[in-house]
Structures are given as structure tokens and as C-alpha cells.
Amino acid sequence: MIVFPHAKINLGLYVTSRRTDGYHNIQSLLLPIPLHDVLELIPSPDGATRFTRSGLSIDGNPDNDLVMQAWRLLLHHTLPPVHIHLHKVIPSGAGLGGGSSDAAFLLRLANDQFQLGLSTSTLQQYAATLGMDCPFFINSHAALATERGDQLTKIDFDLTGKTIVIVKPDCHISTRQAYAAITPARPPVPIIEAIRQPVSQWMQTIHNDFEPVAISQCPEISNIKTQLLNAGAAYAAMTGSGSAVFGLFDEPPVHLTNKDFSGAFYWKTKMTEVRNER
């Protein structure tokens, strides 16, 4: 069976307070976007469980991949040996949630294929042990993320019809350093209010607290954002803790191509609703 884990963007990302458990409280709107990896799970033909990857390169031992960590969470159920293959299209270290999505979709896929009978709530509990944004990908629906990012409130919102452009420069942002450099504060305009305004007003009302810190580590982020706005984006911002930047356009930017962003990952498409299909 094959599924297509999708990416996400953050509309606004605010660090609102420090917690006594060492984490931070945040506020962000998570929105699924139609940029997909490919994940296949089949019964093993040789009696051994194997995991392989292709597509964009991923650092680290494949055995430590979030997909395999998700698989091991299910091993207390009676499961047969399997072959798992992941084809990476979503770049890593981008703030697009690709690794979290892959892991969440593995949980969903195994639950369906082997008829484990796990509820959505249980799947989200499993996913939460893998990463703060993993539970979001169990439902694949726009959601307001609060507290550590793991408290999700479903929001009726999408950007169908807009064109989205994503550009990821070849640089890595230290999330730990970024959190350390941010002074927590509540957003001046609550995100739920801000997104109801016209997109043309979002540059004044929706911000990502991680952007200034990320730009200090990778100035190319600022350059990309400026290029997208100059090309006609109604709104442009970094997603997550970076380093990918997205631009939202009312009309496709026909003169904007990957040649304008030398050495960077470049992707452009019309926004469509990402459905929670099994």
C-alpha cells in the first residue's frame, strides 16, 4: 500500500511563554499543503523487516529515521515483517514537517493495513512521542497549535486557489539557538483574527518569531523573502523554525523560476485542499 505524506506551513509562529518543564508555549496556525513524499508499506517477501529511502538525501542512520521509530511504537501489536520504502520530496530541515508527516502516515498506514483498530486519539498519542507537530499529520486538517504545539484545535480554513511558492536555501537553522534568542510575548493580533483579514494585510499582522534569529544565521532567508514579495507575493514568510520561505500569490508568478534561486530547493503549485484520505 502506498500513501503520500504531505508537508505543512506555519501561518504565524509566536513563542508566547517559557514553561517550567523546559519547553515553550507557542501559537501557530498549521496548514497542510500539497507537497508530498511517497511512503510504501508491504508485507516482507523474505521474512525480514527492511527500510529503504530514495529521493532527497537525509542525514543520519536510516534505522533512526522517524518512520522506523514510528514502526517500533507498534511492535507490541502482532505485526508481520514488512518492507518500508520512503521516497523523499519534502526537504529536511526546512520547517515543512516532512519527517513528522512521514512518521504519522506510517502509523496511519499500519493501522489501516493491519486492522489494528487504533482510534485517532491513540494514533495522536503515539505520534506525540515522536515530535510536537507529529499529531497534526494524523488528521491533516488546518489547526491552531498551542501550548507546546501539541494542543490542536481544528480550524475551518484553507487557501484553495492561491499559488504557493516554497524556496529553501541550503542552510541549517539551530532550533535550540533560535528558542534561546527569543523573548516570549503574545501576538499583538491573535492568529485566528489575523487570518480572517485579506491576505494583503497579513504582512502587517502575521509574523514568525523565529525569522529574525534565522536570518542572522542565514541571511539568504531575507533575500528570498524579498524576491518573493517583489515578484508579487501577497504574503511571504518563513515556515516553522526554518529555513524554507513560502510566498502566497493571487496569480501564478509566471516569470519566477528555480533559476531565480540558485542552489535552493524550489517548488510551486496551486493550493488545493489536502484531504485526510486513507
Give 10's strand partners: 30
Residue 63 annotated as catalytic:
no
Q: How far apart are CA 212 and CA 222, in angstroms?
A: 9
Record the cell numbers describing residue 56, joined without a space: 532527497
Q: Is 8 a catalytic residue?
A: yes
Task: Pick the catalytic residue from 37, 65, 102, 133.
Answer: 133
User: Which is the catalytic residue, given 8, 88, 162, 225?
Assistant: 8
Cβ atoms within 10 Å, residue 109? 20
CA dist., res. 143 & res. 7, Å (int): 14
Q: First-to-last CA distance in the chain?
A: 10
**Core vs surface per residue 198-216: b (16+ CB within 10 A) or e:** ebeebeebbbbbbbebbbe
As beta bridge partners, residue 52 has 85
Nearest-5° Cα angle at 29, 139 to 23: 95
| Interatomic CA distance for residues 88 and 54, integer angstroms | 6
Q: Which residues are marked as active site?
A: 8, 133
